[in-house]
């Protein structure tokens, strides 16, 4: 009888110490959708006289908790796509007999996405205030509760009425998954956070030339530049280093002028950033290979679709900006270069060919080419961030893109919110007389640069993108560009509040005296 009494006492004590936990809000094996996130709440009810502190972990990270109505509450927010693990632990006040509950579930973030600027800056009074953006996977879209038509390809345009202080967007897909974004309407956009850039363009072959390389290194040593733009893929479609990207090998694009790691180590050792330039859709190497290998969908075709579009760049030069394989090639190069250590990727020729759209065909194009280009740039930014969150992405654009975007499908209002910086090519020699009120731009480099760059600031205001323009260090006609002309452009850039400049000379030979020295 004594033994039975002892056993009964032990059982009673163990029952006293036992902690029981009920977890509601996420079930084992549940699939959490994006539409569920707003109301996703985990409630933990721990019972038992010895129940102590409650901790909640999501994928190994501690979640904040609170107490509501006598139960512990946690709200998971940062789910990862695919499997997630929630672990609830309850301590025992007497050191033994605690409890743990584990829930494994899936997160499916599929649903619509919105890409809009952080802020919208209205134009001067008298001008129509319109804003463009991109939406993906949406069946419906509203702005401040009003329906917004979605254009083919997923772009949209709204008129912003006077007196509007913010624009609240909400999109839903066919399953009811929502996404929302709010754009502040302001005349004083936030300051742009971007490093000052004083860079020169260097071709792959130029970096392999000891004399050119030494000149560039000297510019870095003397503090005249703090960044080097080094070509990854050039206007001929040649890749400067020995890339591992399969398509680059298949089409014979590998030039192998420099070893990427060696070049990056040397330049980083000088304290300069390295900007890798990728010429995107002008690619004679790829275009000729595609046409010769029965891949016509990869090239821009003429108006009747019977041959590659022929223009000043050659008989088969422009690749199709709407083709998945073409776009993947550029992105693969950008991702590879980011992984190698390039600090920035700068896309060039991220546009359609010049000319009448009716005289060219893009297989598979949905919507306008400007929308296809924006989506391509957006995808690049996403892929690069997966490799290095600190790597930056920029786009080179025509100088007229701020006022005539349709001529090359470079809509700054769509592109600027997707990138870290926009680099307009505002070479004075490329402007016609009288542009922006400047009588003779080629002989007034400072005036035309200031006026044109200010216009890009106007168009990109509120997007978060910096303006880092391309400037001219080459002669044009009977106008010689020396130190005074180069310096006039640089001074004009900084007068606009820009975040620096990129200097262009096709031979990678620069007017050092025109570049401010360290401390100037």
Residue 11 reports pLDDT greater than 50: no
What gap in Å lies between CA 210 and CA 203, rounded to an integer? Answer: 13
Let me know: does 391 contact 404? Beta carbons within 8 Å: no
Q: Encoding tokens for residue 293?
A: 């290998």
Reported confidence tier of residue 254, pLDDT bands at 50, 70, 90: very high
Reply yes or no on whether the pLDDT at 307 is more than 50: yes
User: Which value, to the nearest 10 degrees, does the dihedral of the CA atoms of residues 293, 298, 300, 305 take?
Assistant: 60
The confidence band for 519, taking pLDDT boundaries of 50, 70 and 90, is: low
Q: What is the mean pLDDT of residues 2-28?
A: 64
Rounded mean pLDDT of the chain?
94
Task: Give one word for 518, left, alpha or beta, with left for phi > 0 and alpha for psi -120 to 50.
Answer: beta
List pLDDT tens digits, range 455-485: 999 999 999 999 999 999 999 999 999 999 9
What is the structure's pLDDT at 69? 86
Q: What is the phi/psi pair of residue 405, to 5°? A: -65, -25
Any idea how long the chain is?
520
If we measure between CA atoms, which residue out of 463, 359, 356, 472 comes closest to residue 411? 463
Other C-beta atoms lying within 10 Å of the C-beta of residue 20: 11
Q: Please answer whether residues 88 and 104 qualify as being in contact, where contact means their C-beta atoms are separated by less than 8 angstroms.
A: no
Residue in 376, 362, 250, 369 with CA at minimum distance from that of residue 296? 362
10 Å CB burial of residue 95 (0-12, 13-18, 19+) is exposed
The answer on pLDDT for 5 being more than 70 is no
Q: How far apart are CA 78 and CA 368, in angstroms?
A: 35
CA distances for 1 relative to 4, 9, 12, 180, 464, angstroms = 5, 12, 16, 71, 81
Average pLDDT (4-27) is 64
Three-state secondary structure call for residue 379: helix
Residue 15 above 70 pLDDT? no
61 burial class (0-12, 13-18, 19+ CB within 10 angstroms)? exposed
pTM above 0.95, yes or no: no
Query: Which residues make beta-bridge pairs with 472?
Result: 504
pLDDT per residue as tens digits for the range 70-106: 899 999 988 999 999 999 999 887 767 788 999 999 9
- What value does the mean pLDDT take over residues 186-215? 97
**H or E element: which one contains 452?**
helix 445-460
Rounded mean pLDDT of 329-338? 98
Distance of CA 254 to the CA centre of its chain: 26
pLDDT > 70 fraction of the chain, expressed in percent and rounded: 96
**What domains lie within the chain, and their CATH numbers?**
25-65+72-108 (2.60.40), 113-185 (2.60.40.10), 197-514 (3.20.20.80)
Closest CA to 351 of 294, 288, 285, 425: 425
Q: What is the mean pLDDT of residues 193-203?
A: 97
Report the DSSP beta bridge partners of residue 56.
Answer: 88
pLDDT at 2: 47
pLDDT digits (tens, 9 = 90+) for 137-174: 999 999 999 999 999 999 999 999 999 999 999 999 99
Least confident span in 89-103, 170-184, 209-223:
89-103
- Compute φ and ψ for 82, nearest 5 degrees: 95, -145
Q: What is the pLDDT of residue 32?
A: 93
Whether the Cβ atoms of residue 109 and residue 81 lie closer than 8 Å to each other: yes
Q: pLDDT at residue 7 above 70?
A: no
pLDDT at 50: 73
Radius of gyration (C-alpha) of the chain in whole angstroms: 29
User: pLDDT band at residue 112, thresholds of 50, 70 and 90?
Assistant: very high
Per the CB < 8 A criterion, the answer to whether 337 and 260 are in contact is yes
Q: What is the pLDDT of residues 357-416, one digit of tens each?
A: 999 999 999 999 999 999 999 999 999 999 999 999 999 999 999 999 999 999 999 999
**CA max distance for the chain:** 117
pLDDT tens, residue by residue, 226-244 = 999 999 999 999 999 999 9
For the chain, what percent of residues have pLDDT higher than 90?
Answer: 88
Closest Cα partner for 150 from 112, 108, 110? 112
Mean pLDDT of the region 284-297: 98
């Amino acid at each position: 009888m004594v033994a039975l009494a002892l056993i009964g006492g032990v059982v009673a004590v163990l029952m006293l110490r036992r902690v029981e936990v009920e977890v509601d809000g996420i079930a084992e094996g549940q699939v959490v959708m994006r539409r569920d996130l707003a109301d996703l709440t985990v409630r933990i009810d721990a019972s038992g006289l010895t129940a102590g502190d409650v901790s909640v972990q999501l994928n190994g990270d501690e979640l904040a908790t609170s107490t509501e109505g006598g139960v512990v509450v946690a709200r998971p927010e940062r789910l990862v796509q695919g499997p997630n693990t929630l672990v609830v632990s309850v301590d025992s006040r007497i050191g033994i007999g605690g409890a743990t509950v584990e829930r494994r579930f899936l997160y499916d973030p599929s649903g619509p996405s919105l890409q809009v600027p952080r802020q919208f800056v209205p134009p001067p009074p008298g001008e129509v205030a319109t804003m463009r953006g991109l939406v993906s996977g949406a069946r419906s879209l509203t702005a401040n509760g009003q329906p917004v038509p979605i254009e083919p390809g997923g772009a949209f345009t709204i008129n912003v009425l006077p007196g509007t202080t913010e624009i609240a967007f909400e999109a839903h897909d066919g399953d009811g998954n929502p996404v929302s974004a709010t754009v502040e309407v302001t005349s004083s956009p936030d300051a742009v956070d971007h490093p000052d850039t004083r860079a020169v363009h260097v071709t792959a072959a130029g970096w392999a030339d000891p004399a050119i390389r030494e000149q560039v290194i000297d510019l870095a040593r003397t503090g005249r530049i703090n960044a080097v733009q080094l070509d990854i893929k050039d206007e001929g479609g040649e890749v400067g280093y020995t890339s591992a990207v399969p398509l680059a090998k298949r089409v014979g694009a590998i030039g192998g002028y420099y070893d990427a790691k060696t070049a990056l180590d040397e330049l980083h050792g000088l304290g300069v950033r390295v900007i890798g330039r990728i010429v995107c859709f002008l690619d004679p190497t790829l275009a000729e290979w595609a046409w010769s290998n029965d891949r016509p969908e990869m090239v821009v075709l003429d108006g009747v679709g019977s041959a590659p579009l022929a223009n000043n760049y050659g008989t088969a030069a422009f690749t199709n900006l709407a083709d998945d394989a073409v776009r993947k090639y550029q992105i693969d190069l950008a991702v590879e270069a980011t992984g190698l250590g390039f600090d920035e990727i700068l896309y060039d020729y991220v546009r359609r060919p010049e000319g009448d759209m009716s005289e060219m065909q893009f297989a598979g194009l949905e919507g306008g080419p400007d929308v296809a280009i924006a989506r391509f740039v957006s995808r690049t930014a996403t892929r690069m961030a997966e490799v290095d969150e600190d790597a930056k992405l920029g786009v080179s654009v025509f100088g007229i893109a701020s006022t005539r975007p349709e001529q090359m499908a470079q809509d700054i209002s769509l592109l600027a919110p997707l990138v870290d910086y926009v680099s307009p090519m505002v070479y004075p020699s490329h402007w016609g007389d009288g542009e922006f009120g400047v009588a003779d731009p080629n002989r007034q480099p400072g005036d035309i640069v200031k006026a044109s760059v200010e216009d890009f600031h106007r168009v990109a205001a509120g997007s978060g993108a910096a303006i880092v323009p391309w400037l001219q260090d080459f002669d044009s006609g009977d106008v010689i560009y020396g130190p005074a002309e180069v310096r006039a452009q640089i001074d004009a850039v900084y007068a606009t509040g820009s975040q620096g400049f990129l200097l262009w000379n096709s031979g990678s030979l620069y007017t050092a005296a025109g570049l401010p020295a360290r401390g100037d």
